Amino acid sequence: MGASRRWRTWPKRFKDEVNGISGVAGIGGTAMAVGSWALVTGPVGVGLVIGGLVLSGVSVAYASIKAIPPQLLRPEAVAHTSMPQGDVDSIDPPLSKLAIIGPSKAGKTTLRERLAIQRTNDLRTQNISAYVLPLSTQPQIFVAVLDASGEVLSQQFRIAESADMLCIVLDHNESDTEFEVRDDRLADHAKFLDQVRSHLRECNGKRLQWVLVLKNKRDLWEAAPAQQRQHFADFCLEQAKTWRSGNFADAVTEHAHSNEIPNDVADVAALIATRVRS
């Protein structure tokens, strides 16, 4: 018996491979063959043509093999592990994907660690990764939590477009100790989310099931002067409204939150469980 794989994903995987490195070699090989046919005569030309054709053939073969879908994995077998984003598709039964997005230092990775109740020892997030998070439900439900670098917009786009649910992490200040609600930080959030929405509109992806807007670091902003707090609350409300009116999701909800308050983290986990089940 061969291992079970999602063979119908092979054509797309092959196309992606051909568009990638092996494709470049393939095109290069073909160009080499054609170019040398036209330009060089004699044994050198023939040698180059053969070399070019062999290079093209080898890269097509390489892409065909690399495109073989990975073996299907049971969620229990990969619980509490991180994997590349694409590998989530080889989990069976399929998992809902929750992408945590926001600019750098908003608290995305900390949220994922707190939900996971463990450190993933990834100090500054560099790459996209998917973490298989078991929720405390009966029967057990798993969700793939996608995290990426807040500094690399293309990574934020990629996780947002593939997600079923989006968790938007807002904060009042990029610091992890200051109370002050800073306008430049709010402007960064607004600009960031504008870009994400434009991207989602452009890529015309599937409708999100849920957008969760977290007003993170409340352990800090709750200590800011009343007027600043109000300003932050109005800003977050406005953001939630923009997502709602853009019709991106079945539901948009907004919550005060702190990664430093265990009850808040437990509430987020419970909210996720409710949404994944429905």
Give the interface with Mg ion as residue ranges (CB under 5 A): 108-109, 125
Minimum gap (Å) between residue 103 Cβ and Mg ion: 10
- C-beta closer to ligand GDP: residue 200 or 268: 268
The answer to whether 113 and 120 have CB atoms below 8 angstroms apart is yes
Taking alpha carbons only, the member of 81, 34, 30 closest to residue 59 is: 30
Name which position in 105, 158, 172, 189 contacts ligand GDP (CB under 6 A). 105
List the single partner that 102 binds among Mg ion, ligand GDP, none, CB under 5 to 8 Å by kind: ligand GDP
Q: What is the DSSP letter of 209?
A: S
Range 226-229, long-range pairs (CB < 8 A, 24+ positions): 228/172, 228/180, 228/181, 229/181
x/- map, 21-60, ligand GDP, by CB under 6 A: ----------------------------------------
List the single partner that 59 binds among Mg ion, ligand GDP, none, CB under 5 to 8 Å by kind: none
List Cβ neighbours of 12 (8 Å cut-off, separation of 6 or more): none
| Residue 155 sits in the site that holds ligand GDP (CB under 6 A) | no
Name which position in 150, 156, 160, 240 contacts ligand GDP (CB under 6 A). 150
Q: What is the DSSP letter of 62?
A: H
Dist. CA 59–CA 191, nearest whole Å: 42
Name which position in 52, 107, 133, 186 contacts ligand GDP (CB under 6 A). 107
List the single partner that 258 binds among ligand GDP, Mg ion, none, CB under 5 to 8 Å by kind: ligand GDP
Q: Which residue is nearest to ligand GDP (CB)?
A: 107
| The pair of three-digit structure tokens given for residue 144, joined into one six-digit string | 């793939």
| Residue 109 sits in the site that holds ligand GDP (CB under 6 A) | yes
Name which position in 102, 131, 166, 211 contacts ligand GDP (CB under 6 A). 102
H runs (alpha helix) in 67-182: 75-78, 108-116, 153-162
Taking alpha carbons only, the member of 243, 253, 225, 236 closest to residue 170 is: 236
Q: Classify 180 as helix, strand or coil.
A: coil
Name the site residues for ligand GDP (rule: CB under 6 A): 102, 104-110, 125, 150, 176, 216-217, 219-220, 258-260
